[in-house]
A = this chain, B = another copy of it.
């Protein structure tokens, strides 16, 4: 697709503005009168519903159950785990008055719900028979942010938060890693976004966690997006909240916990990984409309009947939109391109006469004439090709923008001239991590599972290093 939709900024000229244009023009969101909060319009919320449905099934497959906790946390409760409150306090909205009544214990709006789950676990777990507890909730959380961008960082955002309690460290660690695998599977096979799995450095881990695992993905502009995290919380929360159980040897023991979450931020990732100069490009598995049927010369005899029949025929198998509005076909083409609909079916008098239809792929613009007699199989096959093609393209782009560097000088060259992921050795000192952050605005995205030992000295200080890290600038 060489042409460019004039309604949006060129992504290679101003990527940030392109992003803003796309989220608005494709009708994913509208700005709201509340600072830092957006409205998810039907098309944007439709993507979220498809994400929810598929992820929720994966969670339940693993034995997790959904619950709902209050959106408020008493301030006193939030303060129980010291690291946790320190991490979140600056972002928390607090309610001191309800109507005319002054609250003795002010209420915080949840920035995350560890403390409520802990309190509930403390009340409901007595014996090893009550374990594990595998809970999840779908809700919104609130973090007061200085600068916000639709999907990537908003004051209120939708997410899921998993909270589990286990009898042993081993089991809880396994849960944290398994859920990272579930996220990886979902990103790669549903969102068509390749990820790097790893753990966070001490500096970057979740407030209150022993270990934070993360999946990091690369956006079109080479920047990283932290896409999902899982945390092994150890027994720190259990000690602060007195969550104990009687084990099989009749000994009172603290549980080990995990928490994990992904959010509407994923939609920002979809936009920035797959989008192009004509707007959004959606992977078929999360596209609210998978197929747009557009009649050509719809006033000619037989055309409306043919598109209506086709719609009836395929609508139970795919998510289909038949557009018989009085707009021109060209106008409709741009509209569904902007919305990233994976496949367009054109049907005009000549096609009908020949018993054919034209399929046009959103991802690469490829046109294909297919027989109406086996159009369902053709659509199915093409949607699968698009899904796989988007993943392959994203993977190639990520690999092309991943660089191995050995010295600070090389680091500087790459980060300033070729934005992407930097593989480098790291001595594991906070000082080197901090220096790189300060000098280059780049952070350690993760210490990848798949270690590629490309040297034996730290990229920053030159001392001995045994750990390979991924550095990048990030959203």
Contacts and interface: CB of A to CB of B under 8 A. Distances in A.
A59 interface: no
A411 interface: no
Contacts of A72: 34, 37, 156
Interface stretch (A92-100, A354-362, A368-376): A92-100
Contact of A65 (B42, B68, B116): B42
Copies of this chain, whole number: 2
A342 to B, nearest CB: 20
A67 B32 CA distance: 13
Interface string A118-146: 01100110000000000100011010100
Interface string A65-106: 111111111100100000000000011111111110100000
Interface of A: 30, 32-34, 37-42, 45-46, 48-49, 65-74, 77, 90-99, 101, 107, 109, 116, 119-120, 123-124, 135, 139-140, 142, 144, 155-156, 158
A323 B140 CA distance: 35
Contacts of A41: 67
Given A30-B120, A120-B30, A66 B49 contact: yes
B96 A96 contact: yes
Given A69-B39, A90-B99, A92-B99, A116 B45 contact: no
A75 to B, nearest CB: 11
B140 A30 contact: no
A32 B69 contact: yes
Nearest to A123: B30
A74 B33 contact: yes
Contacts of A67: 39-42, 45
B48 A68 contact: yes
- Of the candidates A37, A70, A97, the one having the most CB atoms from chain B within 10 angstroms of its own CB is A70
Complex A-B, nearest 10 residue pairs according to Cβ-Cβ distance, in ascending order: A37-B70, A42-B65, A40-B68, A98-B144, A34-B70, A34-B72, A32-B70, A45-B67, A45-B66, A33-B74
Contact of A93 (B95, B120, B144): B95
A86 to B, nearest CB: 14
Nearest to A36: B70
Contacts of A120: 30, 32, 39
A389 B124 CA distance: 35
Nearest to A135: B42
Nearest to A124: B30
A98 B107 contact: no
26 contacts: A30-B123, A30-B124, A32-B116, A32-B120, A33-B74, A33-B116, A34-B72, A34-B74, A37-B72, A39-B67, A39-B69, A39-B70, A39-B116, A42-B66, A45-B66, A70-B155, A71-B71, A71-B140, A90-B99, A93-B95, A93-B107, A96-B96, A98-B144, A99-B144, A109-B109, A139-B140
A53 to B, nearest CB: 10
Contacts of A69: 32, 39
A142 B109 CA distance: 12
A71 B156 contact: yes
B156 A33 contact: no
A39 B94 CA distance: 21
A34 B107 contact: yes
- Of the candidates A32, A65, A94, A119, the one having the most CB atoms from chain B within 10 angstroms of its own CB is A32
Contacts of A40: 67-68
A71 B142 contact: yes
Nearest to A129: B325
A135 B40 CA distance: 11
A96 B96 CA distance: 8
A98 B145 CA distance: 10
Contacts of A91: 99
Contact of A73 (B34, B123, B155): B34
A37 B72 CA distance: 9
A48 B65 CA distance: 13
Contacts of A155: 70
- Of the candidates A40, A68, A72, A158, the one having the most CB atoms from chain B within 10 angstroms of its own CB is A68
Contacts of A119: 32-33
